[in-house]
Chain A
């Protein structure tokens, strides 16, 4: 590993992703395990305190409170489509204008310009 690299991007990467010796790793794994036990103990206590809120996975709702914890009803009225879900890597731009009192919807396909991440 060339830590003396003058390439700023590479130095940035090295700060985030650093390969380690096995001994260093062993100490870190041991430390992580100890911390995990402690956190699990705390999490169990927290879960017990929050028991009434557990088991929400079975709940499903269309537009009202309960769907992933978001409430509905207080927002504005939006009548036009604001986004399109479509094939991965392709976005359809939907624009809506009012022309002479009529609603005109225009859609334009954006060709992908790079990687689909």
Chain B
């Protein structure tokens, strides 16, 4: 733990515009992490514990790090394994998400991603260097059996925890911050735009912007909302795109087909009790395609969907655009992560 923290990229303080909170950012997990706390003097302690959480998660669950526990597991060729607590929890959350979403997210999708060329850090994917191979549908999460720390992984199945791990990391981090600060004040942790909050929120909630991407000229865009508890996460097919065999690909794969999801929604934002829930639900909605609205309505989770034609749809009391800073009514209770922030 200490070694991982020692290698961590330093946090950079970010002007917050409000003296009541402190904000810091750093690169992490192939994206960036943002930490916001109040009272401001909690920032130093909070940065340290978030470093530890991120280092541990990377060591446990990264598919791109050859010395991670997950990489070792995937290379072992199947069998019965006794897992460390962290990886066991990460796989349990991924399997719970798969069960909840009816397989719209599926941790056995790793080989589908590799077949599409997403087998290395996104920054070094070769553009169109090879033809697109045959589709590799996910073998199916029910084949993976986890009983506490004991994992039975059939031969030929490799795992990818991309639909839940970043959200889980935000949940773990924000919980660790509150524990380290004696549950005093409040905290927000964002990992690549997947956001979890805990503790006592600012008056009316944490002000958070919901956006697909900023405009090319850097102009402000998106919707301002308020998050008093829980989490919010966004999935989109507009980023992490590459070409292979002349086909435009992206990183959200439909486990049923082994091909990138091609539904009518390009970006989905979901709020939930935990970031693991929100992360799984937003990914599942992209994969669900034409049935995304029905599935999200059934979950009761507030959601914002943006179609390829630019139309925006709010579900389950997602705040309307006419009220700047409208509160997100986050239902209590997690479907995938019992250890989430409280």
Contact = CB atoms under 8 A, between A and B. Distances in A.
Interface of A: 7, 9-10, 12-20, 22, 25, 28-29, 32, 36, 56-64, 66-98, 103, 105-117
Contacts of B68: 13
B18 A116 contact: no
Contacts of B201: 63, 70, 72, 75
Given A67-B229, A76-B203, A91-B192, 10 more contacts: A12-B59, A60-B329, A63-B205, A72-B201, A80-B18, A84-B193, A86-B212, A97-B17, A112-B122, A116-B192
A93 B267 CA distance: 19
B224 A81 contact: yes
Contacts of A109: 213-214, 218
A62 B329 contact: yes
A88 B236 contact: yes
B30 interface: yes
A39 to B, nearest CB: 10
| Shortest beta-carbon contacts, A-B, top 9 | A114-B30, A96-B17, A62-B327, A76-B20, A115-B64, A87-B236, A16-B84, A9-B67, A80-B17
A57 B333 contact: yes
B177 to A, nearest CB: 14
Interface string B181-197: 00001101010111101
Contacts of A85: 190, 193-195, 208-211, 232-234, 269
Nearest to A18: B82
B239 A90 contact: yes
B56 to A, nearest CB: 11
A111 to B, nearest CB: 8
Contact of A72 (B123, B147, B204): B204
Interface residues of B, number: 115
A116 B161 CA distance: 10
Contacts of A68: 229-230, 273-274, 330, 332-333, 340-342
A81 B14 CA distance: 12
9 contacts: A19-B76, A63-B204, A70-B229, A76-B38, A83-B188, A88-B233, A92-B213, A96-B17, A117-B29
Contacts of A89: 30-31, 122, 192-193, 239-240, 251
Given A84-B222, A85-B194, A107-B218, A77 B203 contact: yes
A82 B17 CA distance: 9
Nearest to A70: B229
A76 B185 CA distance: 9
A69 B95 CA distance: 25
Given A64-B228, A117-B30, A78 B206 contact: yes
Interface in B73-119: 73, 76, 79-84, 87
A20 to B, nearest CB: 6
Contacts of B32: 91, 93, 110
A71 B300 CA distance: 21
B34 to A, nearest CB: 5
A73 B205 CA distance: 8
A17 B327 contact: no
Given A13-B67, A87-B234, A115-B122, A69 B226 contact: no
A13 B69 contact: yes
Contact of B80 (A20, A76, A78, A95): A20
Task: Point out which of B195, B222, B341 has the most chain A C-beta atoms below 10 A from its C-beta.
Answer: B222
Given A70-B342, A90-B239, A63 B228 contact: yes
A72 B166 contact: no
Contacts of B42: none
A81 B58 contact: no
B69 A88 contact: no
B165 interface: yes
A67 B63 contact: no
Contact of A87 (B62, B147, B238, B330): B238
